[in-house]
Each structure stands twice: as C-alpha cells, then as structure tokens.
C-alpha cells in the first residue's frame, strides 16, 4: 500500500509540474503585448487541461516502469474448485442471433476446457421491443437445443427494466444469487475464453478479500478504419495504460461494468444502488453504475482489482464516430452524475478522486473549447497595446514569441504522443512488437493512429461539448439501444449528424480571421478537421475489406492469431445466419419451469 501511495503522490506531482511548466510558457507568450485578465483566464484553462493530459500520460509511465520486459505468458491451467459461477449476459433490444452466438461460443469453450459443470449461463433480457423479444425466445430455444445439454442455461425477461443494466443484475442477485459464489458479468458483445474464466475463479478463491476482479477486454471484429484504430489501441497501448492504472488504483480499482467477476456475497452486501433524488439527467437511476459499485465495494473493505495479464477477454466496439458519440453521450451523463455520488459518506478518498477524474473526462472538452474562445477574444478585449508604459520614456514594442508558442504546442502534444512512442520502443526491446507485425509495422500503425486520432479529436471535442451542455441544460439522454453491427456511414448521414460541427469550424475560423489573425495557423489544427467533419466521419467508417487490406492496417494479434473462442463465435454466427434467414415471426412457447427463481431453463 505504501508503494501505491508513493506512486499516487508522484503522479499527481508530475501533473502539477506539467501544468506549471505550461502555465509559465503561456505567461511568457501571452505577456508579449502586456498581460491582462483575459490572459489569466487562458492560463488557468490551459493549465487545467494540461494537468488532465498529464494524468493520462502518468498512467502510461507507471505502466512502462512497472511492467516486466518479458511478462509471464504461460497458458492458464485447470485448477480444481468447488465454487459455482453464474455467467450473466444482460441484453437490451439486441440482435439475439449475434448475442446468443457469443454465449454458444463460450459454452463450447467451457466444454473444451473441461469446466462446463462449474459455470451456469443466464441471459437476462431487458428488451422492450416485442418483436425482438419473440426472436430472443426463438433463438434461446435454438441455443438450448444445441448447447443446453452441455451446461446449465437460463433465460429471463423482466417485465419492467427498472434500473437498466444495474437493476437487471440486481434482480438476478435477489432471486438467484444465493446459488452462486461468483458472478461473471458480461455485456451482450462480450467473449471470454474458458481458461480465463477458470483463472478468474482461481484468483477469487485464493484471495477471500477480493470482491471484484476486472479484466482488460480487447476489441475484436472491427471492420472500419475507425474501428480497427480502436482495436489496435486496445491491443497495443491499453495493456500498458491499464497496468499503470492498476498500480495507481491499488485495492480500490476500477469496474467497467462487464468482463469482470464479482464475489456474490460482497456485491449483494455492498452494491445496492440508490435512486438519486430529482429528475434526470442528474437525478434518477445512476447510469455509470460500475464505478459507483467499485467504490461501494472498497468502502466495505473489499479489494477491487484490475489484472491486465488476464488475456482471453474480448468485446466489440463501435465502427464509426456517430455510434461512438451516441454511446459517449450516455457515459457523459453517467459520469457527470458522479458529482452527486462523490460526497457520499464513508467512501475512500481515492474513490472520490476517481469520481473527480470521471467528471473531468468530459469537462476537459469544454475547457479546451473555452480556451480557444478566450484566445480568439483576447486581442479585442485587450485593445490597442500601450507602447509608452512610462510618460516620456522610449517606446516598448511587443516581442514576437513564436519560439515559446512552438514549445508550448510541442509540450502539449508530447503528453499525448510521447507515451505511445515509448510503448513502441519498449515493444522493440521486449519483442512484443512481433505480435503486431514487427517494430516497423507497429511504428507505422502507431503514427497512423496518432494522425487519425488528431484529425478526429476536434470532432469528438464538439460532440462531448454538446453532451455536457445538454446534461447541464437538463436534457436526459436515457439508455438507447446499441447497434453493435452498424456499418459505414454515408456522406449524407454524416452531414446530418455533424453539419453543426462544420458550421462551428467555419465560424471559429471566421472570427479568428477577424479578431485574432495571428492565431489562425494554430486554430487550423482544430477548426480544420471540424470544417471537414462529415467527410472525415464518412471516410473513417469505410470498411477495411476491399478499400484497405486487413493485414495492412492496424495489424494486431487478433488478426494473426485469433482466439479460439472468437473463431467459435464466428462459426456459430455464420451457420445460424445461413440457416435462420426465415426465422421471423416464429411462435413463442409458454414459459417452462423457472429454475433458478425467475429463469426459464
């Protein structure tokens, strides 16, 4: 614990140091024509934003310094246990063929690994669409027919989806949780190797104080340029960043809501979520419930941990900016709700700090936007500079501080880019780059990812600014269903979703030309991508198949050495879709006996 505390202190000091250095450079640059109150505003905004960027870099540096160059990659072994585990798959208006193929693949994996008798699978439906519900009933019968003889397999659909996903899991715990030592909580798009599931149970057995164990899910099945960039990031950078996160979080680690195992008794005793007073978006059910549940476990003395070495954990991500922004809107509302939760009694100080980080993750975008607006407005608000500060003295002309400006820009971008380049260097030394096509391929893909992220970041900044403004104006985004197989975005669709981003870019450049022409070249880095937002969204959603070869762009081990459970899921899905094209409108049988409570066997 002492080592964790030292890491936390040093990381916070690093962020403050970076913010201070950037602030001092900004003072030198902004004071070239005299410093006034608007410059102070800009310096504060820039320092706060830099501190946030530095905190992300601190994760990477902690991970790089703590992860051994040759990590233990031995396969997980089968260990005897008497523990019973329920694998929970909450679904909400999902495509049942797709979702149930994931369940089928994991059942096959447990049978292959010899642990099928240890894991029961429960599909927990919150579906509101009756047609989708009929399809769920049909495909559950198909799933049970093919795989139900190999394991215990259940399905339950709630009449009311109170509390969304957290309420769904909570309902299972109240009705059936006593039957199980552990709950392995997944998402509808989650996949996990049986060896990983068994290893998670072993680690829970070996540490009676471990209340929650989170894995690092890697993205699979990405098809577009945007999706494959995310897949590369989770495969290449995320293990380092997550290792740093684990070092800083210690026993008060994160919970990301899925691909994690919890001790049923600990979760039941600690994680009953309140309904916040008032109306949404700040009141009502807690949307970002996962971090709250982690904090409540830590408050009750349970260990919450993330183990990045738990390979064999997968999920799917959005394949275009529009679907990413839709999901991000829900996360924004949930994270801003944490402002209501962080003052709850008894929480550990670090848990409160984590809630502050979650809020800052979305407040950072408006801070950057305000900094840009303040920079455009500064020349007009400061007026004509006074070249004669002392009566009768020689004139004092403003200095041109282009060197300071460039240093400032390089420093800010360095916090974003530097850790990624260091990960490439580390991969070259350790040999980890071999799984990503070698060092030169890894470097090329890293530079490509940095470029694409830099182009899309100003667009995402606008979507996040809008989300924050909507939440503070009282708009409830709710919990929209996820289209997990959304294809490419046409140019007209991209225009309909982001025309206002383009308009903002044009207006920003127009005001800059009028009031702050000296900043136009710098603002092009932000406003330029915004002007072309529809085109960038459209192009980034192109499928890698046909236009870009999978082997040539963002190569990962998921391409060269796909996991067996992923291959199983692909095979089941292909077969089912080939056989079930006319499955619509199938009559639904009456529910059978409910075992455990509320679950159709």
With CA atoms as reference, report the closest residue to 10 among 174, 247, 230, 172.
247
Query: Nearest-CA neighbor of 460 among 356, 327, 358, 371?
Result: 327
**Per-residue tokens: 397:** 């002309």
As given in the structure block, the two tokens for residue 471 are 């939440």
Q: Which pLDDT belongs to residue 412?
A: 77
Supply the pLDDT for residue 398: 46
Question: In what side-by-side order are the strands of the sheet with 191-192?
Answer: 191-192, 313-315, 218-219
336: nearest Cα among 292, 273, 271, 272: 292
Q: Which of 372, 383, 414, 419 is nearest to 527 (CA)?
A: 372
Number of residues that this document lists for the chain = 601
Report mean pLDDT in 10-residue bins for the chain, 601 residues.
91 95 84 76 93 95 81 72 95 94 97 94 95 94 90 93 90 95 97 96 96 97 93 95 95 95 97 90 92 97 95 94 94 95 94 96 95 88 55 48 64 87 94 92 95 96 97 84 72 96 96 88 92 96 62 80 95 89 41 46 52
Q: Which of 220, 233, 157, 181 is nearest to 594 (CA)?
A: 157
Give this prediction's pTM. 0.90
Residue 254 φ/ψ, nearest 5 degrees: -95, 165
Distance CA 297, CA 288 (A): 15
Q: Indicate the SS3 state at residue 204.
A: helix
Close Cβ partners of 322 (under 8 Å, ≥ 6 residues apart): 486, 489, 493, 494, 497, 498, 537, 541
Tell me what pLDDT residue 583 has: 46
Nearest to 265 by CA among 188, 313, 341, 204: 204
Helix (H) / strand (E) element for 89: namely strand 85-91
Crossing angle of the two packed helices 321-341 and 491-515, in degrees rounded to 10: 70
Task: Write down the domain spans for the chain.
Answer: 85-317+331-359+564-579
Instruction: Report which secondary-structure segment, H or E, holds 211.
Output: strand 210-214
Look at residue 591 in the predicted model and tell me its pLDDT.
33
CATH superfamily of 85-317+331-359+564-579: Spore Coat Polysaccharide Biosynthesis Protein SpsA; Chain A (3.90.550.10)
CA 251 to chain centre: 21
From residue 594, alpha-carbon distances to 107, 371, 431, 598, 599 in Å are: 21, 58, 52, 5, 5
Question: Exposed/middle/buried for 2, CB within 10 Å: 0-12, 13-18, 19+?
Answer: exposed
- 3-state secondary structure (DSSP) of residue 81: coil
Q: How many CA atoms lie within 13 A of 513 on its CB side?
A: 8
- Confidence (pLDDT) at 596: 55
d(CA 595, CA 167): 20
What phi and psi, each to the nearest 5 degrees, are found at residue 60?
A: -65, -45
């Amino acid at each position: 614990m002492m080592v964790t505390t030292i890491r936390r202190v040093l990381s916070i000091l690093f962020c403050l140091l970076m913010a201070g250095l950037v602030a001092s450079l900004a003072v030198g640059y902004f004071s070239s024509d005299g410093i006034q109150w608007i410059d102070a505003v800009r310096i504060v905004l820039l320092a706060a934003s830099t501190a946030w960027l530095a905190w992300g870099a601190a994760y990477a540096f902690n991970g790089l310094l703590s992860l051994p160059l040759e990590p233990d990659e031995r396969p997980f072994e089968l260990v005897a246990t008497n523990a019973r585990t329920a694998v929970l798959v909450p679904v909400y208006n999902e495509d049942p063929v797709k979702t149930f193929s994931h369940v089928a693949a994991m059942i096959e994996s447990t049978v292959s690994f010899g642990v099928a008798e240890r894991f029961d699978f429960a599909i927990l439906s919150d579906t509101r669409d009756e047609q989708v519900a009929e399809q769920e009933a049909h495909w559950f019968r198909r799933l049970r027919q093919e795989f139900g003889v190999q394991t215990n397999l259940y399905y339950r659909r709630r009449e009311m989806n109170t509390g969304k996903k957290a309420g769904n899991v909570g309902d299972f715990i109240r009705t059936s949780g006593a039957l199980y030592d552990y709950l392995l909580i997944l998402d509808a798009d989650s996949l996990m190797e049986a060896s990983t599931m068994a290893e998670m149970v072993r680690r829970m057995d070996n540490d009676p104080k471990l209340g929650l164990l989170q894995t690092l899910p890697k993205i699979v099945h990405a098809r577009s340029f945007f999706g494959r960039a995310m897949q590369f990031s989770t495969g290449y950078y995320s293990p380092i960043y997550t290792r740093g996160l684990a070092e800083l979080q210690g026993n008060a680690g994160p919970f990301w809501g899925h691909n994690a195992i919890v001790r049923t008794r600990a979760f039941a005793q600690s994680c009953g979520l309140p309904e916040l007073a008032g109306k949404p978006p700040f009141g009502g059910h807690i949307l970002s419930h996962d971090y709250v549940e982690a904090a409540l476990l830590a408050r009750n003395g349970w260990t919450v941990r993330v183990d990045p070495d738990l390979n064999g954990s997968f999920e799917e991500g959005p394949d275009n900016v529009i679907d990413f922004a839709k999901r991000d809107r829900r996360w924004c509302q949930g994270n801003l709700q944490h402002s209501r939760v962080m003052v709850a009694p008894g929480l550990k100080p670090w848990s409160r700090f984590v809630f502050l980080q979650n809020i800052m993750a979305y407040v950072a975008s408006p801070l950057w936007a305000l900094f840009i607006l303040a920079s455009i407005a500064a020349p007009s608000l400061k007026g004509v500079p006074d070249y004669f500060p002392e009566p009768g003295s020689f004139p004092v002309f403003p200095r041109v501080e282009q060197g300071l400006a460039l240093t400032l820009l390089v420093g800010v971008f360095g916090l974003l880019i530097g850790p990624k380049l260091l990960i490439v260097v580390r991969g070259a030394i350790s040999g980890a780059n071999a799984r990503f096509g070698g060092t030169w391929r890894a470097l090329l893909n890293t530079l490509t990812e940095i470029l694409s992220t830099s182009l899309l970041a100003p667009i995402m900044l606008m979507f996040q600014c809008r989300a924050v403004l909507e939440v503070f104006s009282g708009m409830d985004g709710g919990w929209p269903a996820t289209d997990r197989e959304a294809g490419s975005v046409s140019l007209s669709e991209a225009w309909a979703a982001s025309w206002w981003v383009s308009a903002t870019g044009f207006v920003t450049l127009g005001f800059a030309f009028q009031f702050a022409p000296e900043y136009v070249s710098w603002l092009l880095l932000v406003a330029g991508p915004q002007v072309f937002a529809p085109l960038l969204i459209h192009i980034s959603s192109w499928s890698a198949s046909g236009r870009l070869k999978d082997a040539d762009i963002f190569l990962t081990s998921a391409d060269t050495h796909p996991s067996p459970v992923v291959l199983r899921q692909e095979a089941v899905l292909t077969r089912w879709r080939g056989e079930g094209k006319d499955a619509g409108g199938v009559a639904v049988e009456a529910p059978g006996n409910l075992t455990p409570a509320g679950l159709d066997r």
